[in-house]
Amino acid sequence: MDAKTAKKPVVVGIGELLWDVFPTGKRAGGAPINFVYHATQLGAEGHAISAVGNDIFGTEIIQELSKNNIEYFCETLSHPTGSVKVELKNGQPTYTIIEDVAWDHIPLSQPAIDLVKKADAVCFGTLALRHTDSKNTVETLLEYAPKNALRFFDINLRQHYYSKELIEELLNKANVFKINDDEIKVISDMFGVKGTEDEICKWFLEKYNLRYVVLTAGDKYSVIYSKDECSRIDTPKVEVADTVGAGDAFSGAFVAGILTGKTLRQAHEQAVKTAAFVCTKTGAWPAYN
């Protein structure tokens, strides 16, 4: 293996870094950083761009990043470290997302710009853009991503923190679009696209000139579309502890697979196995065997 192929792909998550607070305790999370965690476990060089509070929770979550070999540019701000109250019913989570926290105010920095310039993949979603500060930072950083990098837009619809205008803006910056079977209903109505899931996904693929559209349907199936290929896999049956972070695990594993030379189908298979594994554990960052 030559030096070029031996180099780990650089994967960057920009956005919310937070504690998922369960009735049984707290666990590190935040969709773009969950994505990075799993890509890192599967061979990527992972980086997080976010912000934390000047509090014990900020100190502890930075320690979690270091412990899991995730590099980071996380400014310490006067706002509190982000948290989400998670309630589980039959393993399915509902979220109450605390507002005006550190990751709402991610500052733009030269080190973050320099990092994004060398990224092989950048992950982002709608939630981190709910406040103008982080919105401006995320959008500016995306302008610096290399043209050949995977710009992975996980729509991640939460509460009321999204709009058609925002989604369209991010689609125009993305080349990979990830949605689930609930989200596809929302955006097909929003964009006035009618038809089957297959037809809707292909419409977005063509309309926004995307490399991939990724559709996950929980415990049923997942489908990945490219311009000349479509891969569908039924979800394996597992004993579910909780599904927190399973979609992010799927995404991180898929991107890690593509960036390390796997075919679309092989990367999809890795994504399915990884997401199923995460469902058997509690929290979004389970230790890998």
What DSSP letter does each residue of 191-227 carry, written as one string?
HT--S-HHHHHHHHHHHTT-SEEEEEETTTEEEEE-S
| Mean per-residue pLDDT, 1-30 | 83
Digit-coded pLDDT (tens) for 272-286: 999 999 999 877 788
Orientation angle between helical segments 110-117 and 132-143, nearest 10 degrees: 40
| pLDDT score for 91 | 66
| Among 84, 251, 101, 79, residue whose Cα is nearest residue 158 | 84
Looking at the predicted structure, is the pLDDT value of residue 150 above 80? yes
Digit-coded pLDDT (tens) for 79-133: 999 998 888 777 677 878 999 999 999 999 999 999 999 999 999 999 999 999 9
| Among 210, 190, 106, 93, residue whose Cα is nearest residue 150 | 210
| pLDDT score for 260 | 95
Q: Tokens standing for 97? A: 């997302």
Answer yes or no: are the C-beta atoms of 125 and 247 closer than 8 Å: no
What DSSP letter does each residue of 157-202 carry, written as one string?
--TT---HHHHHHHHTT-SEEEEETTHHHHHHHHHT--S-HHHHHH
Digit-coded pLDDT (tens) for 41-83: 999 999 999 999 999 999 999 999 999 999 999 999 999 999 9
Looking at the predicted structure, is the pLDDT value of residue 135 above 80? yes
| Mean per-residue pLDDT, 150-160 | 93
Q: What's the pTM value of the predicted model, to 2 decimals?
A: 0.92
Q: Is pLDDT larger for residue 233 or for residue 89?
A: 233
What DSSP letter does each residue of 41-83 carry, written as one string?
HTT-EEEEEEEEESSHHHHHHHHHHHHTT-EEEEEEESSPPEE
Q: Is pLDDT larger for residue 92 or for residue 246?
A: 246
- Distance (Å, rounded) from C-alpha 272 to C-alpha 269? 5
| Among 229, 225, 182, residue whose Cα is nearest residue 204 | 225
Q: Give how far the C-alpha of residue 213 lies from the chain's centroid of Cα atoms, to the nearest Å.
A: 14
Number of residues in the chain: 289
Domains of the chain: 9-279 (3.40.1190.20)
Answer yes or no: are the C-beta atoms of 129 and 163 closer than 8 Å: no
